[in-house]
Structure 1
Amino acid sequence: MKLLLKSLNYAPELTGIGKYNGEMCEAFVEKGVNVTAIVAPPYYPEWKVHTGYRKFWFKSEIKNGVELVRCPLYVPEKVTTIKRLLHLATFAFSSGLALFSRLFKKPDVIILVQPTLFCAPLTLLYAKLTGITTVLHIQDFEVDAIFGLGLMGDGKAASVAKKIERWLMSGFDAVSTISYSMLENAKKKGVPEQKLIHFPNWSDTTFVTPDTDGSVLRQEWGFSNQDKIVLYAGNMGAKQGLEIVLDAASALRENSQIKFVFVGAGAIVDKLKTMASDLELSNVYFKPLQPWELVPQLLAMADIHLVIQKKGAADAVLPSKLTNILSAGGHAIVTAEEDTELGRIEKEQPGIYECIEPESIGTLVSAIESSIKKNTTKHNEVARKFALSHLDKNVIIDRFISRLTEITESNSDFAKEIK
């Protein structure tokens, strides 16, 4: 099978969609799939193009068996709604040029990762001209995220955007996404059930395990064995609403053993640092993104993990950071409404994590205090068992490749019947 991936994000980005795309494509190659990826230069979550990728037009490279075509795009230093739209539009244009340069090197199937839906029109046009199979893989529902978080009004603009989204989604041969609630959302947007594929994010359960010792990293960062580390690791953007964590740190500042550690980068990291300084929070620490080989130690170091989201974001965005927390057997506090998938998982798997009301400082403070009183020195067996049975990387990718093969062969047989 020849597969073409089209996405904004790709390795060596260390978090989110880029990390998963890189792992997915390399796993495909290991399983005999010929893979090309049309992607942007690495820039996320720092919102700064990595060194070595800053001065080029288009750049091709082979990385671990994957043919990569890097396409230029606008990356704003300060992210606003207008600048983000321009950012997405420039990649849609440049990646479209790269795609149509391959008219005579057509794959069997093309996977477009959302975000960004801006790329859908040219992707569907290319597929129509070449007769290939198309899959839309939804990591984030962009339209839902934008309007759910109040970044744009919920009036006529929202209605038009949702109609365009519905029309574009209907053009794909299959739509995959990372959670069952997101599959239901896609169904509500008009995607027939037979077109839907459950393709969840995964964890390398043999690498991220509860057996890892985090004490060395804890000591390197100046924390004692008596300290209780409350960790947020990942992207620091507007949709997380991380200001609430600083408010919780302020409320718990009298307990000198509780240390709040932010690890990562993102659009609002400078804002968070300024806020922490203004509040004179000596119990808050900021660390940069860590290399993948240190992630198991980082997760093992923490007593409590935070998965923070604003109201209205949980069903549009299933946080990818949670998969590794579960694989590590971490004790997590997750902010999500009860009727979201995160809320339902907690009910179905009691003890897997603590799900609390989003955007409630008092509830978050109480949850942290309660978790600290519990024995968090032992790993969370419920979380680890869930990861082993539901999040194993090889099982998930093998199942997805099998489904792609079925769809591609079915479309090929249909095309022959028409002829």
Structure 2
Amino acid sequence: MVSTNYAPEHTGIGPYSTQIAEHLAASGADTHVLAGMPHYPAWRVGEGYAGRWRMCEVRAGVTIHRRRHTVPPRQTALRRALFEASILAHGVLAPPRVRPDVVLTQMPSLAGGVLGDRLARRARVPHVVIVQDLMGAAAEQSGIQGGGRVAALAGGLEGRVLRRADVVGVVHESFVDRVTAMGVPRERVHVVPNWAHVKGPSGDRALTRERLGWSARDTVVLHAGNMGLKQGLDVLVEAARLAEQEGARVRIVLMGDGNQRERLQQLAAGVPALSFLPPADADEFPEVLAAADVLVVTQKASVLDMSLPSKLTSYFMTGRPVIASVAAEGGTAKEVLRSGAGSVVAPEDPKALLAEIRSFADDPEGATRLGAHGPRYAERHLSSRAGLDRITALLGLAQRPAGVDRS
């Protein structure tokens, strides 16, 4: 497997890569992972890994080959390009000394896709790619500084990797048209949704709220996860500011880390209705989510078909209602509405967001009924067993006929 993100990262793509690799190892496969140094979502190299150039470690029967790369604390197109280039260069210079039977790549990163393609072609084995985010579209839609100039280049390289892959998995059907437009035959594209990789809450909700200092009289709105550009989290700061002005008993909490956290903290200065929490550990995470009254996912209005927030699967497990401040035509909106566990409001519109929050606060029983759809949806469609079985089946499809050379 090639995946820049891997355990001990416990948010984003890392948990999915980890669970897939550990599932394959438990099934008897000699499983190796070419990974980067843990850095997400803080965009700082994790303790115990800083200063390491290369290392090999074994976790749950999986051999992880880690290679050092740059970790930009602030995202621009140039810094992202350097990040990708460093991953690619180190992976090319020091590939794992393993001859694989199949290569499975998680994208992003774009460099990981190129490395996976290179490893598969050198070993003359099938290459399976799982698309978590579309990098070309991300550069175009996320608002990253300089992104428009590199979108075509990133999209072109991404398309080349996907066209040469034997099988392409996408985590949502909204990605299918974008991938086939790159020239990937439809029959090689398969939808493999992510699954709920965290357990449901089991603690006392009232005690968790008390520990966090959340008043029972306040409607607590929680955003958990990465604080990056594409999330467009300014809308939550402005919604909190409006709540203060209107005297609404609304408290908005941002839990997590990311390259926009410091800027958001500066923007929120003097807004007591908004507060920040550090990332929660794996055991505490579902308890904090369940202690909130409303869970919120936000995206910039320009984000349509380039990513699906991994936090949604965790949100659905808690039984709390979800508000999605996202483009109505995007995959995130479709997933929230399909679950029946939440509602969708216009993106980057703090007035609309606050109005929806207040409507949930005014009808707590209705909000609870709405949120109760989440665990049922997760049980039917997002179980880890079903998700891992889909990945195993995807690998089974990667049987390249003799003599086939995709270029």
Same fold by TM (over 0.5)?
A: yes
Specify the alignment match of 1:290 in structure 2.
Answer: 280
* Structure 1 CA distance for aligned equivalents of residues 342 and 254 of structure 2: 20
* Structure 1 CA distance for aligned equivalents of residues 336 and 210 of structure 2: 33
**1:305-348 superposed Cα distances (whole Å, 9 cap, x missing partner):** 01011112242110000101112122010122222233334555
Answer yes or no: is the 8 Å Cα contact 1:323–1:387 preserved in 2: yes
Aligned to 1:248, the other structure's residue is in SS state helix
In the TM superposition, what is the alpha-carbon distance from 1:212 to its structure 2 partner? 4.5
Residue type of the partner of 2:27?
K
**Residue 86 of structure 2 is aligned to residue 90 of structure 1:** yes
**Residue 371 of structure 2 is aligned to residue 380 of structure 1:** yes
**Residue 308 of structure 2 is aligned to residue 321 of structure 1:** no
In the TM superposition, what is the alpha-carbon distance from 1:80 to its structure 2 partner? 2.4
**Residue 226 of structure 2 is aligned to residue 230 of structure 1:** no
Q: Pick from 34, 37, 47 the counterpart of residue 38 of structure 1.
A: 34
Aligned to 2:94, the other structure's residue is in SS state helix
In the TM superposition, what is the alpha-carbon distance from 1:110 to its structure 2 partner? 0.8
**1:399-419 superposed Cα distances (whole Å, 9 cap, x missing partner):** 221231232xx32xx22899x
Q: 1:157 to 1:204 in 2, by over 3 A?
A: closer
Specify the alignment match of 2:341 in structure 1.
Answer: 352
Specify the alignment match of 1:402 in structure 2.
Answer: 393
Answer yes or no: is the 8 Å Cα contact 2:303–2:327 preserved in 1: no
Specify the alignment match of 2:250 in structure 1.
Answer: 258
Answer yes or no: is the 8 Å Cα contact 1:214–1:299 preserved in 2: no
Aligned to 1:187, the other structure's residue is in SS state helix
Q: 1:342 to 1:43 in 2, by over 3 A?
A: closer
* Structure 1 CA distance for aligned equivalents of residues 404 and 375 of structure 2: 48
Matches within 5 A, 1:207-222: 207-209=199-201, 212-222=203-213
Specify the alignment match of 1:415 in structure 2.
Answer: 402
**Residue 251 of structure 2 is aligned to residue 274 of structure 1:** no
Q: Pick from 34, 45, 50 the counterpart of residue 46 of structure 2.
A: 50
**Residue 249 of structure 2 is aligned to residue 249 of structure 1:** no
* Structure 1 CA distance for aligned equivalents of residues 254 and 90 of structure 2: 34
Give the TM-score normalised by the residue count of structure 2: 0.92
* Structure 2 CA distance for aligned equivalents of residues 87 and 417 of structure 1: 33
**Residue 329 of structure 2 is aligned to residue 339 of structure 1:** yes
Instruction: Give structure 2 stretches of 5+ with no counterpart.
Output: none
In the TM superposition, what is the alpha-carbon distance from 1:385 to its structure 2 partner? 1.5
* Structure 1 CA distance for aligned equivalents of residues 275 and 150 of structure 2: 40
Identity over the aligned pairs, expressed in percent?
Answer: 29
Answer yes or no: is the 8 Å Cα contact 1:38–1:98 preserved in 2: no
Answer yes or no: is the 8 Å Cα contact 1:236–1:264 preserved in 2: yes
Higher deviation after alignment, 395-404 or 58-67? 395-404
Q: 1:265 to 1:338 in 2, by over 3 A?
A: same
**1:76-108 superposed Cα distances (whole Å, 9 cap, x missing partner):** 233322112101110111122332x42xx2111
Answer yes or no: is the 8 Å Cα contact 2:136–2:152 preserved in 1: no
Give the TM-score normalised by the residue count of structure 1: 0.90
* Structure 1 CA distance for aligned equivalents of residues 347 and 212 of structure 2: 30
Aligned to 2:180, the other structure's residue is in SS state helix
Residue type of the partner of 2:267?
M
**Residue 176 of structure 2 is aligned to residue 183 of structure 1:** yes
Q: 1:328 to 1:157 in 2, by over 3 A?
A: closer
Q: 1:16 to 1:159 in 2, by over 3 A?
A: closer
Aligned to 1:240, the other structure's residue is in SS state coil
Higher deviation after alignment, 158-167 or 136-145? 158-167
* Structure 2 CA distance for aligned equivalents of residues 50 and 218 of structure 1: 29
**1:109-149 superposed Cα distances (whole Å, 9 cap, x missing partner):** 11121111223334323322211110111111011011123
Answer yes or no: is the 8 Å Cα contact 2:75–2:144 preserved in 1: no
**Residue 141 of structure 2 is aligned to residue 148 of structure 1:** yes
**Residue 72 of structure 2 is aligned to residue 76 of structure 1:** yes
Answer yes or no: is the 8 Å Cα contact 2:21–2:62 preserved in 1: yes
* Structure 2 CA distance for aligned equivalents of residues 251 and 232 of structure 1: 17
* Structure 1 CA distance for aligned equivalents of residues 27 and 392 of structure 2: 9
Q: Pick from 4, 7, 11 the counterpart of residue 7 of structure 2.
A: 11
**Residue 116 of structure 2 is aligned to residue 123 of structure 1:** yes
* Structure 2 CA distance for aligned equivalents of residues 113 and 270 of structure 1: 29
**1:362-400 superposed Cα distances (whole Å, 9 cap, x missing partner):** 211111111111214567222221111110011110122
Give me the CA root mean square deviation: 2.2
Higher deviation after alignment, 268-277 or 397-406? 397-406
**1:240-267 superposed Cα distances (whole Å, 9 cap, x missing partner):** 1101101000000143631111110000
Aligned to 2:283, the other structure's residue is in SS state helix
Q: 1:153 to 1:197 in 2, by over 3 A?
A: same
Residue type of the partner of 2:43?
W
Specify the alignment match of 1:301 in structure 2.
Answer: 291
